[in-house]
Amino acid sequence: MPHHWMRHAACACIVLLALATLPATAKDAPEKSTLTMAVGGLPGLYYLPVLAAQQLGYFKDEGLDVTLEDFAGGSKALEAVVGGSADVGAGAYEHTLFMQAKGQRYRAFVLMGRAPQIVVAVTKGKAGSIKSLADFKGAKVGVSAPGSSTDLVLTVALRKAGVQRSDISAIGVGSGATVLSAVSNGQIDALSNVDPMMTKLQRAGEIKVLVDTRTVKGTQEVFGGTMPAATLYASEAFIQKNPRTTQALANAIVRADRWLQTVSDADLVKMVPKAYLLNDQALYVEAFHNVRDAYSPDGLMPSDGPATALRALSSFDTRLDAGKIDLNATYTNDFARKADAQAK
């Protein structure tokens, strides 16, 4: 065989080898395989599907290398996405409504939570004087970050009891161990926050629970419908430019959503990083069981979800004109539906 033929044959072999190592078909590969996701408090059970997708290698299986950037609350994570330091956000669906009201198009493309998982409670020391939400006037209330979902749930619940947001002082206390110190050093009278912290405080007898949206039933009592919670969202421009990347993210999250429906306590504890277990595996498992009902089983936005969220938000923020919001532009079920069909 002439020398140059051998060279061509060798080249062809190298090309074939390279193709063999690519995902099944190159055309299905994500447009952007390396990306950053901003998360509004990764240790919280609210974001467990993201944590599971990362720890169990589901993102990797989809050809993605995802860096999770953790923030004190959802509003801070949103700033990172809007500012461009993160490609995608993991946060509450309502961020997409707020952004549309500001003239910016963001869309939720896979659901992680169908209930906010947020608990409003009063500290043990104040339980005598603050017996119900109607007694919150003048109270110092700890939220993960002002403007985040913990603040929203608090505001909606208070308003139903005749108390305005301006009647209280909302103090950002994060959603990790910082919550415990805010309670123990008397910095706050009440709090609106997420698990596992709320189960830990409840178990220790440090708080009295007044509102509980960890279940679908408890959420309907507060909001009068299904209140969509944690989602993955991105700008409309990102989704249009990167449909395969968006699909890959949705595939990983739907797989994680499904895993959480049937996971054993032992497998859950094995997946969660030690630092998030608060040196108390039994507590973490108890908290997980308290919120398990809140996880979406299929990644799909419930039909009454967007309207329920808009109703709640326009009562939370008077600058939001419900009549001017196009709900269909704030979410899509296309990616989750396709991911769900593949997973079956």
pLDDT in tens, 284-325: 999 999 999 999 999 999 999 999 999 998 887 877 889 999
Q: Which two tokens stand for residue 314?
A: 């326009």
Please state the pTM of the whole predicted model.
0.86
Average pLDDT over residues 177-184: 94
pLDDT value for 315: 82
Range list of H helices, the chain: 3-21, 48-55, 58-61, 74-83, 94-101, 149-160, 177-184, 197-203, 216-223, 236-241, 243-262, 265-271, 281-291, 305-316, 334-343
Q: Of 79-93, 139-153, 302-316, which has the strongest mean pLDDT? A: 79-93
pLDDT over 70 at 18, yes or no: no
Neighbours of 329 (CB within 10 A): 14
Q: Which two tokens stand for residue 107?
A: 């869309």
pLDDT value for 28: 83
Q: Which two tokens stand for residue 59?
A: 């993102």
The proportion of the chain whose per-residue pLDDT surpasses 90, expressed as a percent, equals 81
- CATH code for the structural domain at 118-212: 3.40.190.10
pLDDT over 90 at 24, yes or no: no
**CA 74, 215, 175, 279: dihedral to nearest 10 degrees?**
-140
pLDDT over 70 at 23, yes or no: no
**Better-scored residue on pLDDT, 25 or 220:** 220
Q: How confident is the model over 40-79, as pLDDT tens digits?
A: 999 999 999 999 999 999 999 999 999 999 998 888 999 9
pLDDT band at 6 (very low <50, low <70, confident <90, very high): very low
Domain boundaries, the chain: 31-115+227-343, 118-212
**Better-scored residue on pLDDT, 293 or 4:** 293
pLDDT over 90 at 201, yes or no: yes
pLDDT value for 320: 87
pLDDT band at 19 (very low <50, low <70, confident <90, very high): very low
pLDDT over 60 at 14, yes or no: no
pLDDT over 50 at 154, yes or no: yes
pLDDT value for 25: 53
Do the Cβ atoms of 284 and 272 come closer than 8 Å?
yes
Of the candidates 201, 209, 202, 151, which has an alpha carbon nearest to the alpha carbon of residue 177?
201
pLDDT value for 27: 65
Average pLDDT over residues 264-289: 95
Q: Is the dihedral of CA 151, 155, 157, 158 positive or negative?
A: positive
Neighbours of 125 (CB within 10 A): 12
pLDDT band at 175 (very low <50, low <70, confident <90, very high): confident
Q: Which two tokens stand for residue 163?
A: 């108390």
CA distance 72 to 327: 27
Strand partners, 209: 121
Matching CATH topology for 31-115+227-343 and 118-212? yes
pLDDT value for 318: 78
Hey, what CATH topology would domain 31-115+227-343 get? D-Maltodextrin-Binding Protein; domain 2 (3.40.190)
pLDDT over 60 at 99, yes or no: yes
pLDDT band at 82 (very low <50, low <70, confident <90, very high): very high
CA distance 86 to 306: 25
Average pLDDT over residues 167-172: 96
Distance of CA 155 to the CA centre of its chain: 19
